[in-house]
Structure 1
Amino acid sequence: MTASLRARWTSGRSLRFRVTALVLVVVALALVVIGVTVDLALDAQLRRDQQSRLDDRAARAGLLVASGTTGAPLVEAVDGQGIRAVLLDAAGRRVAGSTDGPPGRPPMRDRPGRPDRPPVREGDLVRTVGVPDGTRLVLAVDPGENDEVLARLRVVMVGVGALGLGAVALALLAVVRVALRPLDDMTAAARDIAGGERGRRLRPERTDTELGRTAAAFDDMLDALEDAQVRAEDAAAEARRSEVRTRRFLSDAAHELRTPVTGVQTLAESLVRQPDADLARRERIATTLVRETRRAGALVADMLELARIEDGAPLDRRAVDLAELAAAEAERVELLAPGMTVEVDASPTWVDADPGRIAQILANLLENARRHGPPDGTVRLEVSGDGEQAVVDVVDEGPGIPPADRERVFDRLVRLDDARSRDAGGAGLGLPIARALARAHGGDLRVVDSERGARLRLTLGALRTGEQEEGL
């Protein structure tokens, strides 16, 4: 079938029609092949039967001749049952026997001038038996007798074939309708999904058939599309949240920088406007100017530090004992804040980490505890191992952190005090930097429940004993 014929055949016709028509064509061709084969086989078998009967009759005639039977009795003994016997003389003339064939057949005829040839029809099967008196017994069978059998057989085969094709067509219509029902279900599902019913699925009972696999692939495609849509919506929502956080961050950063920058500007203008002020006043202005400059510089440095951490700044990892780092940071804080007490409860706990960055995390957590606890309060620093994790808890004696704000405190430039006191609350970047560093190490930092004050928990992956020895 050429491409143009195939295109004309498939255009405008349903799959059900094409499948039914193709199967009927195949069945019709099969019936034709079977009919021709049966016809040829039966014709060959009938001819073999005729030859066998003719040979048997010739053998019988030979026995009769041997026993002395001649003339009309010999002809009558072997004539009949589809075989005609004719006794001819030496000249080829009929002596006994009928030249009439079966009803509806042309009669047997003599062949003038050919005495060596018996009077037979074209295509006849012939056997000749010699008789001692000089005559010849000719036995002939008419192959035309097979035509009636074959004709009846052909009529029967054509009728049965037509009825069979009709039955096959009806059965195919029903079977194809049932077999292609999943395609109708897929069409209905696609329309429902296009109409807004996103959760519609086919859920085939069997996936080991072509249509079952197609239905399963259709469901997988819908699941993938739905997942992609959910991811896209989540990404869009996250982008909107990120945009909001960025705007809030820029607003808070501008607010935080405005105060020290304004102070620096005011103090600088004072020095310019009052060049003749007394030395003590100029010294106080200069000292304050330096302090405000440092405040602005520290804020900018913290913001850059946080950006570097989030961009994946490299870590100098090695085997580190958290207990040793905790003791060192506690001693440093007590020296910087004489009224503050840091109690350390630590056992040797080794981690694979950057010691400088871990010390920075502990410093930020202790500074947060100092800012929100009483000036002469106590801060507990607890280090322990929990299975495959190392845990560091920093507990202060402050007012604590409400559950609703336990994630918000890790946002940039966020302070929970309404007065936004820079001296009491800092710039709001210490905890975000500490969490970013913890997550860069594969750990985390979060606020957990505490009976008193706030408890911030740092978790890191702990080293096993063999890894500790290797690190040492």
Structure 2
Amino acid sequence: MTGAEPRPLRTGSLRLRVSWASFGVFALAVIALIVLVDWRFGVQSTRELKDRMQARGDLVVSAARDYPRDNQYLAVKATGNGIRGTVVLPNGQEFHGPNLGELVDPVRVERQLPGKRKLIMVADRTETSAAQRRLRQLLTLLGVGTLLIAALVQALVIRLSLRPLDRMTSLARSIAGGHRGGRLAPTKRNTDMGRSAAAFDEMLDALEGAERQARESEERVRRFLADAAHELRTPLAGVQAAAEAVVQSSPETSFEERERLNVLMAREARRASRLVEDLLSIARIDEGLELRWEPVDLLALARSEAERIRLLANHVQVVVAGTPAVVSGDTDRLAQVLANLLGNARRYSERGGVVTVQVGQHGPWAYAEVADAGPGVPPADRERIFDRLVRLDSARDRGSGGAGLGLAIAQGIARAHGGNLECVEPPPGQPGALFRLLLPIRPAEL
């Protein structure tokens, strides 16, 4: 199943997009402000004009009480200051004030006078409209000037604001050029730019960590292959030497000498075969072991492996103690782990020494501890001892049989079961090494 095709990233200029977007928003705000001020000025001017007309109408209404029959006087009194008054009688007769000329943009206000008369006042809004036009022109000039200044300031501000992106780009190119270790180190991580910079730094940490692990893994593989070739070369050289000696032997060579050469060749072949098997086990662990899950009693398994060690080496005493601890796992693989630990303990224990196996449970974990009375493992080597093809100075005798793969295989099997194998500090006053096998207590997996 193929993954979804990558969605192309739009790579238009961020600076231009931000500039046009912010400039457009600011321009709309300026235009809206100009329209609002112009509308508000027109409304306010009309309202003030009507208020003046209403005030003059109040004066005419008051005079109509004093001069109830002088309609012409009232019309004249209503006229002035841009306002022309007309008194209309109930019969339709009209009395006009002085002619103020043609009204271009009239505003009309009506008032009721005593005697069912009506006062009509009309004012020209031309001056107000002219003032509004001048104001509109002024606002337009100010708006255009403001937009020009804002565009210049905005370009500078955006350039400064987007400077971290330029730094991010420079850092990426620097790292691509081989200069590792550079970071943005944002001062604030709760901002948009801070989160982006923090994510960028985390990505660089992950990439450089992966690169470092790849290099270390490559170096470990190269070293492992070199060490494996070196280890395998020794028994193969022994087989070759013994075989050449047999081929080149004369008919007068004694039967004992031939037998010795055959035994040497078989022994070296077994060493090579054992090393190849260990290498295959390491490869299987790396690829993922196929385990046959079933309930396994660690205490019974430890007793069985201890009995096997007693038969192989009667110069040490093996003591198994503890309580039953049932785990889910592969019986043969777990037996291989215990056999490796007991074999190492036997190999490095002096004659008459005691190897103890303690089995029990602690919380969700089952454990099996194997302790010996040998030279022990220095604290600095308690992790390194599980590396492949690693043997401590006290174990470099090739005659002891180990190639430095047993503990690596045992730890790999333990981790494949969801547990671990570790070399821990023995209790005070107890010599030798102490290995602890931890396995989770869980139902068998089908």
* Interval containing the TM-score (normalised by the shorter chain): 0.7 to 0.9
Distance in 2 (CA, whole Å) between partners of 1:266 and 1:189 is 69
Assess if the C-alpha contact under 8 Å between 2:410 and 2:421 holds in 1.
yes
Aligned counterpart, 1:117? none
Distance in 2 (CA, whole Å) between partners of 1:367 and 1:242 is 29
TM-score by length of 1: 0.70
Question: Can you list the C-alpha shifts for 1:384-436, whole angstroms capped at 9, x where unaligned?
Answer: 11111111111111111111111121111111136832122511111110000
Aligned counterpart, 2:241? 266
Change (3 A) 1:162 1:286: same
For residue 200 of structure 1, the aligned residue among 176, 180, 186 is 186
Change (3 A) 1:123 1:217: closer
Report whether the alignment pairs 1:101 with 2:76. Answer: no
- Give the % identical residues: 36
Aligned counterpart, 1:81? 78
Aligned to 1:342, what secondary structure does the other structure show? Answer: strand
1:20 Cα shift? 4.5
Equivalent residues in 2 for 1:194-233, closer than 5 Å: 194=170, 198-203=184-189, 216-233=191-208
Report whether the alignment pairs 1:410 with 2:410. Answer: no
For residue 292 of structure 1, the aligned residue among 244, 247, 268 is 268
Aligned to 1:243, what secondary structure does the other structure show? Answer: helix
Report whether the alignment pairs 1:147 with 2:124. Answer: yes
Q: Which amino acid aligns with 2:208?
A: E
Aligned counterpart, 1:118? none
Change (3 A) 1:165 1:329: farther
Unpaired runs of at least 5, structure 1: 1-6, 107-121, 128-137, 205-215
1:235 Cα shift? 1.7
Kindly report the root-mean-square deviation, in angstroms, between the aligned alpha carbons of the 2 structures.
Answer: 4.6
Change (3 A) 1:441 1:169: farther
Assess if the C-alpha contact under 8 Å between 2:42 and 2:129 holds in 1.
no
Distance in 1 (CA, whole Å) between partners of 2:21 and 2:298 is 73
Assess if the C-alpha contact under 8 Å between 1:28 and 1:165 holds in 2.
no
Assess if the C-alpha contact under 8 Å between 2:293 and 2:329 holds in 1.
yes
Aligned counterpart, 1:334? 310
Q: Which amino acid aligns with 2:35?
A: L
Report whether the alignment pairs 1:254 with 2:249. Answer: no
Change (3 A) 1:76 1:281: closer
Q: Which has the larger radius of gyration?
A: 1
Question: Can you list the C-alpha shifts for 1:283-326, whole angstroms capped at 9, x where unaligned?
Answer: 23222222211111111011101111221121111221111111
Q: Which amino acid aligns with 1:35?
A: F
1:332 Cα shift? 0.8
Question: Can you list the C-alpha shifts for 1:136-156, whole angstroms capped at 9, x where unaligned?
Answer: xx988562xx126x6258637
Distance in 1 (CA, whole Å) between partners of 2:17 and 2:368 is 74
Q: Which amino acid aligns with 1:365?
A: L
Q: Which amino acid aligns with 1:456?
A: F
Which stretch has the larger CA shift, 152-161 or 446-455?
Answer: 152-161
Q: Which amino acid aligns with 2:187?
A: R
Equivalent residues in 2 for 1:30-429, closer than 5 Å: 30-38=36-44, 75-76=72-73, 80-82=77-79, 83-84=85-86, 101=98, 104-105=100-101, 141=120, 143=122, 146-147=123-124, 151-152=127-128, 155=131, 186-190=161-165, 194=170, 198-203=184-189, 216-274=191-249, 276=251, 277-417=253-393, 420-424=396-400, 426-429=402-405
Change (3 A) 1:177 1:392: farther
1:36 Cα shift? 4.2
1:375 Cα shift? 3.4
Distance in 2 (CA, whole Å) between partners of 1:273 and 1:78 is 152
TM-score by length of 2: 0.73
Q: Which amino acid aligns with 2:437?
A: L
Aligned to 2:431, what secondary structure does the other structure show? Answer: coil
Question: Can you list the C-alpha shifts for 1:218-270, whole angstroms capped at 9, x where unaligned?
Answer: 22222222112112222222222222222221222122111211111111112
Q: Which amino acid aligns with 1:199?
A: A
1:200 Cα shift? 2.7
Aligned counterpart, 1:109? none
Unpaired runs of at least 5, structure 2: 1-12, 80-84, 112-116, 172-181
Q: Which amino acid aligns with 1:388?
A: P
Change (3 A) 1:186 1:394: farther
Assess if the C-alpha contact under 8 Å between 1:415 and 1:425 holds in 2.
no
For residue 440 of structure 2, the aligned residue among 445, 448, 461 is 461
Aligned to 1:376, what secondary structure does the other structure show? Answer: coil
Distance in 1 (CA, whole Å) between partners of 2:57 and 2:410 is 110
Aligned to 1:412, what secondary structure does the other structure show? Answer: coil
Distance in 1 (CA, whole Å) between partners of 2:339 and 2:196 is 52
Question: Can you list the C-alpha shifts for 1:351-374, whole angstroms capped at 9, x where unaligned?
Answer: 111111110000000111111121
Change (3 A) 1:272 1:165: same
Q: Which amino acid aligns with 1:24?
A: V
1:75 Cα shift? 4.4
1:279 Cα shift? 2.9
Change (3 A) 1:188 1:349: same
Q: Which amino acid aligns with 2:185?
A: G
1:338 Cα shift? 1.6
